[in-house]
């Protein structure tokens, strides 16, 4: 099993991290839409700033048809 996985939704502007629990089910380990995320389970030293992420996505614009 995959220990952690991320759900990043640019339309809802949310970030969610799920972690595999001892019972084999995934539970939410982290969720955020605003503010800086300084403590990320299993990713020591990683800092995530959702507002900066959304700003970068807006700066890049929509994907071109060749990106599919």
- The CA distances from residue 29 to 12, 18, 36, 56, in Å, are 19, 5, 15, 25
Q: Could you report the per-residue pLDDT of 8-59, keeping only the tens digit for each?
A: 988 898 999 999 999 999 999 998 888 888 888 888 999 999 888 888 888 9
> What would the pLDDT profile of 3-19 be if each residue is shown by its tens digit?
999 999 888 989 999 99
Question: Nearest CA to 6 among 35, 15, 14, 56?
Answer: 15
Output the pLDDT for position 19.
95
| Rounded Cα gap, residues 54 and 46, in angstroms | 17
């Amino acid at each position: 099993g995959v220990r952690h996985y991320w759900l990043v939704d640019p339309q809802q502007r949310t970030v969610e991290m799920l972690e595999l629990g001892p019972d084999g089910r995934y539970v939410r380990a982290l969720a955020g839409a605003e503010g800086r995320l300084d403590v990320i389970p299993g990713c020591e030293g990683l800092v995530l700033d959702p507002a900066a992420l959304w700003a970068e996505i807006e700066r890049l614009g929509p994907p071109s048809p060749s990106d599919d």
